[in-house]
Structure 1
Amino acid sequence: MTDNTPSPITVLGTGAMGAALARAWLAAGHPVTVWNRTPARAEALAAEGATVADSAARAVAANRLVVVCLLDDASVGEALAGTDLAGRDLVNLTTGTPAQGRSRAAWAEARGARFVDGGIMAVPPMIGAPESGGYVFYSGSADLFEEHRETLTVPAGAVYVGADAGFAALHDVALLSAMNGMFAGILHAFALIRREDIAPSDFAPLLVSWLGAMAPMAHQAAAQLESGDYGKGVVSNLAMQVAGNATLVRTAREQGVSPELLTPWMALMERRLADGHGEEDTTGVVELLARP
């Protein structure tokens, strides 16, 4: 096989994401062997050129590069139980936690496999669509990643974040956690205007513009965290923001909206203020989140 020959791949799991991954590799000319616990769900891929294995063990034996995209970490263990992983390059794209990524890496390496864990920052329609901006975090064996970088980049961008196998999941969950906080704020904003003569479609561009303008504040927070100086570059200090929170809560009540999406954050701000950090930025609230 020459360097220009697409490498063969095994994909374990042909749900929405696994099927999208397999299709992207098939479209790029890679020979793909697939397996799914429910065989019928893999048959559509057979019509598109994939080889369907009747067991996970046979699918793993078919190719050196094995990509796993199953429901959860327990499903990975069940699917690979009893399979011969010696000499295999195992890429786990199953959603999990950092601790599960590290544990699964040790598990795979003890069985003679190289391992990388992945965190997919995309939904299935974004896979195989370079213009979508989707990408995957990878962590674990640097040698495995470098050897298969070109192949792993076919479905979506590939971003290697370190040898610690837990880092891909950590980056994934950290970004998703930030996203969830943003979505909570968006929904609260829409709730405030819901009973008024304000069209959500007219308000949405204002939300997008405002949140886009505020997002770069993450760089200032990062600088404060790295320096340990939460008073560095403060524009609106904690004391001012806590005082302003009363208006946010009162407006919610006037509009008949529960403030419950906001109050946990506000409570943390108040605790930090009570500890004597009123002149700092809100970044210092992170000190209340770290638990022993």
Structure 2
Amino acid sequence: MCRWLAYSGSPVLLSDLLFAPENSLVVQSLHSRLGVEAVNGDGFGVGWYGAQEEPGIYHSTEPAWSDRNLRELAGHASAGRVFAHIRATTGTPVQQTNCHPFRHGRWLWMHNGAIAGFSSVKRDLTLAVEPALFPLIEGSTDSELFFFLALTYGLEQDPPAAVARAVGLIEETGRKHGVPLPIQMTVATTNGETTWAFRYSSEGRSRSLFHNADVRTLRLQHPDNVTLQHVSDDARIVVSEPLGSLEGAWREVPESSCLVIEGGREQLHPFAPVPGAAPAGSAAAAL
């Protein structure tokens, strides 16, 4: 599987997120504590919002722990919203176009998990993608196809509804092909202003996901912690596993839920798939 983080708050150096923490994403690429695999060395990606309308992206097929260009970039680039992902492939090739986060316009998307029986359901799911979006798919992963299904279902207008309908289609399609537990997922997506994070699986035993506690509260609890003095009040991090061991700093995202982060505000909502027909405008709907 994979590990990822989604940060929003005052601008920080990428190195402060990716390298500095005790259990940083780069550390997790070699020694993941809560992942299915301890090693996540099949590529790396980081997306951030800066001077341009669209977010910047850096992808590499090298393991994060040995990527000199990543360390150089991270020491100089800063941003107030960052997505980062380390990959452990579930079978698709190790290539740049298969590295997360994926981008469409201002939107970023990353996924930890898998669509089970992907080789069996791939054709049916691909036919459900809106024809105008289909040529934009660059890689071969289930995660990118999942992204384009969510876009087809209206991700840019209503992310929770779009993801719920996409997951509903994935589960319906999987079960039609004899796959009893079609999806395992933690997903993060953003338009550069709001972040949506989802935790769900068909078996009800989803991969780990955490978010940080309120920074102001943590400062009161740990007045001698230097790091907390330099973090903005609205800083929010959603992670596959905690970046450190500071007491009270991390809260688990509940099973079958959607966490919405906008500014320093966060809301937690239940999440469930929405079964339904193929989306209007897709190739499948015309068959």
Q: TM-score, normalised by structure 1?
A: 0.26
Structure richer in strand, relative to its length: 2
Greater relative contact order, per chain length (Cα 8 Å cut-off, separation 6+): 2
Q: TM-score, normalised by structure 2?
A: 0.26
Structure richer in helix, relative to its length: 1
Larger Rg: 1
